[in-house]
Structure 1
Amino acid sequence: MLGVSVAARVEQVYREDSRRILATLIRLLGDFDLAEEALHEAFFVAVERWQRDGVPASPRAWLVSTGRFKAIDALRRRARFAASQPLLIAQLEELEQVEWSEEDVEDDRLRLIFTCCHPALAADAQVPLTLREVCDLTTEEIARAFLSAPATIAQRIVRAKAKIRDAKIPYQVPTLGELPERLDSVLRVIYLVFNEGYSASGGAELIREDLIREAIRLGRLLMELLPEPEVMGLLALMLLHESRRPARTDKDGKLIVLDEQDRSLWNAELIAEGCGLIERALASRRFGPYCLQAAIAAVHAEAATAADTDWEQIVGLYDVLQRAMPSPVIELNRAAAISKRDGPLAALTLVEAILARGELLDYHLAHSARAEFCRQLGRVEEAREAYQRALELTRQEPERQFIEERLKALE
């Protein structure tokens, strides 16, 4: 019978190191599916061997070696019967000659992140593949988070793996010259995961804590392995947003806007960590859009009350951000800051200009912002019309309830 201490140790190693081991096996074997089979085979063998022989001094290295040998054995058996025997034999010879050391394992996690977020892969496959392979979320969990069918998510993951194999996408960290473009893909994927957790695109819940945790875990991992200013900026941005989560909803799950939040509920530890990171990033003078967004979040976080917020500084940061990364959504957020500094009429003019260009017509927050500015100006009918349009577009229940309450208040 398996001893409790050994069983607990196997579970602990799986929980803490399975993704590291998988990353190394993917590099050594050159195949996602073969590596996953090898990973599970290795842990299955560990249950029996560690009970008999004791837990090895380096469980991670033992599991990588065992998984690799199990994969080679599986390929040998397959080679005896497969029509493509010469190809399999060549693959076997190549695998048997590959050398590795335990020091490679940390780099392998970084390689895996960059592989899953390679720009050659379809954009809608990068997030599911990263969550599956790097974070170990199940296909069902990913599908539930992004309101998709599990079969659809599974197909995207399968196609992405096939693309990596067939296109021979290199399993490596980009060179210094390639890093800016490739790093942007990785940061975008991590921030997409965080945003889906922080403000779900649909469903009954505003917040998905599991996705927030996974995104921050990825951000911390990337920061540990590649401490670039924009990586610091993204991690700071996520931490500062996360610091406000306890105050974003009431006990019934209803949305509470930033100005009305109880700031005593904000997490001071996360605020301190986020502000420290953004100070380091800005000091490098090599900051980009994530750093600027984090700097805006830091100004909010440092204000003791809503009235103490330095809106002049926030508008100035949005000006710089808009030049660095032109976007109608950034324009919309800047308009909200303008409303605090210059009043609702100035903000309404900006929002109506965005909508007049045909941009953000299907974005519920643009219509909600227009409604709010009209309400503040006493233009009740225009506010009601804009809130109705926002209500038609939103797919998230807490936001629907918030807009419905605003509509009732107009009556």
Structure 2
Amino acid sequence: MRTPFEDLVRDLAPQVLGALVRRYGGFDTCEDAVQEALLAAALQWPVEGVPDNPRAWLVTVASRRRTELWRSESARRRREEAVAARAVPDPEPPPAVDDTLALLLLCCHPSLTGASQVALTLRAVGGLTTAEIARALLVPESTVGQRISRAKQRIRSSGARFHLPPEEFPDRVSAVLQVLYLVFNEGYTASSGPSLNRVDLTSEAIRLTRQLHARLPDDGEVTGLLALMLLTDARRPARTLDDGALVPLAEQDRGRWDAGAIAEGVELITASLASAPVGPYQLQAAIAAVHDEAERAEDTDWRQILGLYHLLDAAAPGPMVTLNRVVAHAMVHGPLPALALLAAAEADRALAGHHRVHAVRAHLLDLAGDHGAAREHYLRAARTTSSLPERRYLEVRARSRPR
């Protein structure tokens, strides 16, 4: 659980970095300076109290540190003195301009790899330390440090500007949405490790998406992504037992779902579908809303869900969309036609041998009454997943089926 001080610092992080980059340029040096200012705040504010103007305090401290960093790197004294004179922080508080969106767009520069975009976004916009990012992503701290360092170097060498040309804006917003979606999914169903959920990642993804939605309230896909996250995360309290064991959607105690998050998500997606062009995130949010609004699993409107998956498959085809559409098809038309669809889908290299294919096939075989074959495919899925909760769940399913 984060303290109020940590929440405040993270909310202010992108604003402070934006103020420095807007004033001085040089994203990499400014980002290092802001990280040191955030560390100073985390150490001082709990003891000395939060300043009257915490944003201005952070900008002042970061500006001083930025000057020190520049001086340490400068090779020519005259240039150092001239720039340092200009770099003295303004005595007046910095203008109340929130550059969160500009920073998100910069962190998702197309020259960066997906992994670097995620790490840099969590660092520069999320305000997380390198150690926190490493723990969240389950990778060594040195790896995260290298990703961030390379990303900042790449941004500097590419000549990327803080203010994006208008013609690049749509593509870059799309990249931002992809990064936030990736962060959320990795937190909601961790691809590896002992825990099914990593709440630090899902919470950060939702927080950053809220900030993006505040800047772009009329963007249908931004609204759709926020709604999707809320509607999906609402089920988290019922997804695992006390021992961490996975509970499938159909067996979850829906009384434990977060009704407030569901209501907010439904309101967002309903308004978005009525007012904006429909895109993939909105369709996924609509599917999540149909699931969440069913009081019991047997009340789920699978025909509506199948129709939405057909639309999603046309708008943004992908392997996981295919698998989910197969499951919805089984719920509407029966398991045998769905098994035929699944066999055809395996021609996609992205699905060949994937543990979720084995898990879906096992589920469909169960529905068809072939429990022995289902058992074998549950075991195959268990052997190929890197998630320990998923593996335990699949093994339990296999053991409960006759040979």
If the length of structure 2 is used for normalisation, what is the TM-score? 0.88
**Which structure 2 residues correspond to residues 365-404 of structure 1 after superposition, within 5 A?**
365-404=356-395
Q: In the alignment, residue 29 of structure 2 is paired with which amino acid?
A: D
1:286 & 1:39 partners in 2: Cα distance? 39
Q: In the alignment, residue 31 of structure 1 is paired with which amino acid?
A: F
Tell me what 1:340 maps to: 331
Tell me what 1:236 maps to: 227
1:111 & 1:12 partners in 2: Cα distance? 21
Matched, 1:170 2:140: no
2:268 & 2:386 partners in 1: Cα distance? 34
1:192 & 1:243 partners in 2: Cα distance? 18
The Cα RMSD (Å) is: 3.2
Moved more, 21-30 or 398-407: 21-30
- Residue from 294, 299, 307 that aligns with 1:316: 307
1:135–1:322 CA distance, 2 compared to 1 (3 A): same
**Which structure 2 residues correspond to residues 11-410 of structure 1 after superposition, within 5 A?**
14=9, 16-29=11-24, 30-37=26-33, 40=36, 58-72=53-67, 75-76=70-71, 79=74, 82=75, 102-103=94-95, 105-106=97-98, 108-173=99-164, 175=166, 177-227=167-217, 228-410=219-401
Asked whether the 8 Å contact 2:246–2:390 carries over to 1, the reply is yes
Asked whether the 8 Å contact 1:26–1:32 carries over to 2, the reply is no
Q: In the alignment, residue 21 of structure 2 is paired with which amino acid?
A: I
1:47–1:187 CA distance, 2 compared to 1 (3 A): closer
Give the match's secondary structure for 1:155: helix
Residues 368-409 of structure 1 deviation map (CA, whole Å, 9 limit, x = unaligned): 001111122233443233222211210111111111111111
1:367 & 1:179 partners in 2: Cα distance? 40
User: Structure 1 residue 101: deviation in Å?
Assistant: 7.5
Give the match's secondary structure for 1:178: helix
1:254 & 1:11 partners in 2: Cα distance? 31
User: Structure 1 residue 259: deviation in Å?
Assistant: 0.9
1:44–1:365 CA distance, 2 compared to 1 (3 A): closer
1:75 & 1:342 partners in 2: Cα distance? 66
2:384 & 2:53 partners in 1: Cα distance? 54
1:26–1:322 CA distance, 2 compared to 1 (3 A): same
User: Structure 1 residue 249: deviation in Å?
Assistant: 1.1
2:366 & 2:169 partners in 1: Cα distance? 47
1:43 & 1:379 partners in 2: Cα distance? 59
Give the match's secondary structure for 1:333: helix
Asked whether the 8 Å contact 2:280–2:315 carries over to 1, the reply is yes
Residues 283-324 of structure 1 deviation map (CA, whole Å, 9 limit, x = unaligned): 123121000000000011111111111111111111111110
User: Structure 1 residue 11: deviation in Å?
Assistant: 7.8
User: Structure 1 residue 179: deviation in Å?
Assistant: 2.4
Percent sequence identity over aligned pairs: 45
1:132 & 1:19 partners in 2: Cα distance? 9
User: Structure 1 residue 241: deviation in Å?
Assistant: 0.5
Residues 126-165 of structure 1 deviation map (CA, whole Å, 9 limit, x = unaligned): 1011111211222233223323222122111110010111
If the length of structure 1 is used for normalisation, what is the TM-score? 0.86
Asked whether the 8 Å contact 1:128–1:156 carries over to 2, the reply is yes
2:51 & 2:352 partners in 1: Cα distance? 61
1:219 & 1:45 partners in 2: Cα distance? 25
Tell me what 1:3 maps to: none
Moved more, 144-153 or 296-305: 144-153
Q: In the alignment, residue 22 of structure 2 is paired with which amino acid?
A: R
Asked whether the 8 Å contact 1:21–1:105 carries over to 2, the reply is no
